[in-house]
Amino acid sequence: MTLEDVADELYSVQPTEFVAARAARVAEARESGDKELASAIGKLRKPTVTAWTVNLLARSAPDDVDALLRLGDALRTAQRELSGEQLRTLTTQRQQVVNALSRRAGALAAEAGKPVNEGVLREVGQTLTAALADPQVAEQVRTGTLATAANYEGFGPAGPALVAVDGKGSAPSGKKARKEPKGAKKAPDAAAEQELEEARATLESAGTARDSAQREADETAARRAEIEDRITRLRAELEHAEQEKQFARTAERGAQEQLRAAQRQLDRAQRGVQRAQERVRD
């Protein structure tokens, strides 16, 4: 049993179960004589609701989370090369992906029986954004071992980590951009590679958003189909019940006719008995 194994297990349970599960693992480590491991396990923090929701997303949709984190790598790599327009485009795409994954995390929490409110979903989005800029947060998100929400606002045209350069070579803030040595030119191959990397990052982010939207569409379509199937079954049952009612009504009419015929026969028999009795008396 390693600390990584225990952390992976503990951060997969719901927050209400965390403390008891941690205490059990601490006791196991002590019983095995590993006091150092027991101490390390005891220091693992109980996840907040936001952190648990992010961990749930990372464990349920690892490919989507990896795609988002790769977009963060592309943003950091391209921070000094992008034009203002390109930077704004990537920032918009990043926000679209973050929003889509936040909604996905909310849906997963609801499926797990622990629906979260809008405040938690906002913190989920902020944490995913922070993971794009902070490698440590990114690793915790990727492994599903986050203990608390994170926040970072550095990315974007106004952020300190990314500086958008306009067509005249000046920074948006008004400060002069660093000048390249006169005559220095970017190699065509490097420019093409950069363009390809940007295109791939854009494709990945758009694909993640599309996949998330597709899952939501599939889920709603499945619910609609289930309801339609139930309506079809109920209609069939109603039609069958109507047929049974018609059969019962027909049977009832037949039984009534039989009853009337039997009553007439009984009346004739009674009159015959009365006539016979009168002849006997005479």
Are 220 and 108 in the same domain?
yes
Are 167 and 217 in the same domain?
yes
Are 13 and 80 in the same domain?
no
Residue ranges of the chain with pLDDT lower than 70?
A: 75-88, 90, 153-213, 215-216, 247
pLDDT at 46: 92
Are 24 and 115 in the same domain?
no
Q: Judge whether 187 lies within some domain.
A: no
Question: Looking at this protein, which amino acid is placed at residue 250?
Answer: T
Number of domains in the chain: 2
Are 62 and 155 in the same domain?
yes
Yes or no: say if 147 and 45 are a contact pair by the CB < 8 Å rule.
yes
pLDDT at 247: 67
Are 20 and 66 in the same domain?
no
Are 218 and 126 in the same domain?
yes
Are 110 and 212 in the same domain?
yes
Using alpha carbons, select from 69, 61, 64, 24 the residue that is nearest to residue 42: 24
Q: Judge whether 248 lies within some domain.
A: no
pLDDT at 81: 64
Using alpha carbons, select from 126, 124, 122 the residue that is nearest to residue 153: 126
Q: Judge whether 82 lies within some domain.
A: yes
pLDDT at 132: 86
Are 26 and 153 in the same domain?
no
Question: Looking at this protein, which amino acid is placed at residue 52?
Answer: W
Are 89 and 24 in the same domain?
no
Q: How many other CB atoms are found less than 10 A from the CB of residue 68?
A: 27
Are 119 and 62 in the same domain?
yes
pLDDT at 201: 53
Are 9 and 115 in the same domain?
no
Domain that holds residue 161: 50-171+194-229
